[in-house]
Amino acid sequence: MAPSAARRRRSAFAAGLATMAMALGFAAVPAEAAPPPKADYVALGDSYAAGQGAAPYTDRTCFVSRKGYPAIANNLRDIRLTANAGCSGQVTADVIADAQATVDSGTEIVTVTVGGNDLGTTNVLLSCLPAPTPDCAGALATVQTKLTDGSLASSLAGVVAAIRSKSLTAKIVFTGYPRLFAPDHAFAAVANPLADGLNGVIAGVALQTGSQFVDVAPAFATHGIGSAEPWINFSAAGVLDPANFHPNGEGYRHGYYASLVSQRAFALN
């Protein structure tokens, strides 16, 4: 058979199949719609934003972990983590500088976990636990002063202003801190009221600035140090262990990330 005749027969066969498909009512399969674009997300804050306590770390200077809540959100939500500036030891002044460097007009969500280091809570934990030292009373008094004199609230408001100077429309989400100890633990009376006071200041600033406050304390309520399933690391034999007083992987996933999701922190509408 001549090649040209064969090509004509194949073309006729293909045309016949197309005609048959149309006659039977087969519709063309539509192309899949493109997935919606991911929201650009920046995480700011201290060691709790970095993921300290949930080793291994991708950055041992800042104790940044893939098990921290920003990394979990990046993997599981419709967001794109453009920067995780969380770093161990950060205070509000550091976060203000980070906001200037990482937030831009395209940023749609910013989470902030900061305030504990501004108060000097680490000094309280080291001087009061596991047994009070002569410095314990002074450390507690310093924290109480900073909680009530307006200095922390002013610093947190400065974080919002820094973010707003880079993006007028980004959703700003402050997270709180968990109570560290189970209610019946010997150290609960010292540490837990500090978390309550700190959360109160953060929540107040969030309300005043049109930001969102995500309360993580309820999620950790039965998972403090001394509970059957603690989500907070603590070794009395090694108080200086960098993991101490920080969430473990379960705490970041089921405490922080779950609270952010349940309170719609990543929702833009």
- Residues annotated as catalytic (active site), given as ranges: 47, 246
Dist. CA 182–CA 186, nearest whole Å: 9
Dist. CA 98–CA 60, nearest whole Å: 18
Rounded alpha-carbon distances, angstroms, from residue 249 to 48, 96, 180: 11, 27, 15
Q: C-alpha angle with apex 76: 91 to 251, nearest 5 degrees?
A: 50
Residue 58: which residues within 8 A CB-CB, separation 6 or more?
Answer: 64, 65, 66
User: Is the dihedral angle over the CA atoms 258, 259, 262, 263 positive or is it negative?
Assistant: negative
Which candidate, 210, 213, 204, places its Cα nearest to that of 265? 213
